[in-house]
Amino acid sequence: MKQFLQVFLCTLILGGMVSLGCKNKEGTVGTTAQNAAPAPVAVPATTSASPAPPAPAGASIDTTSKLAAAEWAIKQDAIKNDPDGQWAISATASSTYGDAQGNASWSANQVTGFPNVEKFGDDGRAWAPKTPDTGIEWLDVKFPKPVHATEIRIRESCGSGAVIKVELIDEQGAAHTAWAGNDPTTGLNYLIVKLPKTEYKTSNVKVTLATNVIPGWNEIDAVQLVGKDQ
């Protein structure tokens, strides 16, 4: 399906360090695997029956890493199961990689439903524009029911940080800018836009990216709209 490989870097600054990611477009999903947050690791419970053995060198670093992973997992789970949140049911985009349509890899429809990209990197289960670093691209997503919006959550999964504007489209078709600015998202995580409960109802969110801001492929896994009926 792919005619060539393009190799590049997705620059991420995490804790003062630069990570590599989003290098390739491959014929399979989940091909690059630089994970922004370590996979959750079970932390053994300590008991009072016997004293803990002396901590080996590097144990504090390992514990910190586990705690960070657990905190990340808890946050992801809370968002996924938010009773006031709903996930997109349809989507269109300014372009798609390989002109993908329907449920093909990297198509706009890949942002519908629950998030399903597990690792930061190029993955066909996310939407990707036709080419990297071109400039303005957009993603228009629709949700099951209109609500008075209070929050939008955009799960970025490759080349995070390229979103420049988020708009809500009301029931009459008018666009309202919910946020515009410098996207601080890094790694596999959400750009979270909070706003006062809108007077109007919306079931439509438009996300605009400047793909030249973050080198390489900029991909979105899922979009969630949070709000109330009343």
- Residue 26's pLDDT is 56
Q: What is the mean pLDDT of residues 111-118?
A: 97
> 84-228: which CATH topology?
Jelly Rolls (2.60.120)
Name the nearest CA neighbour of 112 among 30, 223, 189, 193.
223
From CA 172, how far away is CA 184, in angstroms rounded? 31
Task: Tell me if 141 sits within 8 A of 48, measured CB to CB.
Answer: no
- Residue 22's pLDDT is 72
Q: Is the pLDDT of residue 58 over 80?
A: no
Q: Is the pLDDT of residue 19 over 70?
A: no
At 68, is the pLDDT very low, low, confident or very high (cuts 50, 70, 90)?
Answer: confident
Residue ranges covered by each domain of the chain:
84-228
- Residue 201's pLDDT is 98
Name the helix (H) or strand (E) containing 80: helix 59-80
Percent of the chain whose predicted confidence (pLDDT) is above 70: 76
Q: What is the mean pLDDT of residues 171-195?
A: 97
- Residue 69's pLDDT is 87
Q: pTM (2 decimals)?
A: 0.75
Q: Is the pLDDT of residue 3 over 70?
A: no
CB atoms within 10 A of CB 8: 16
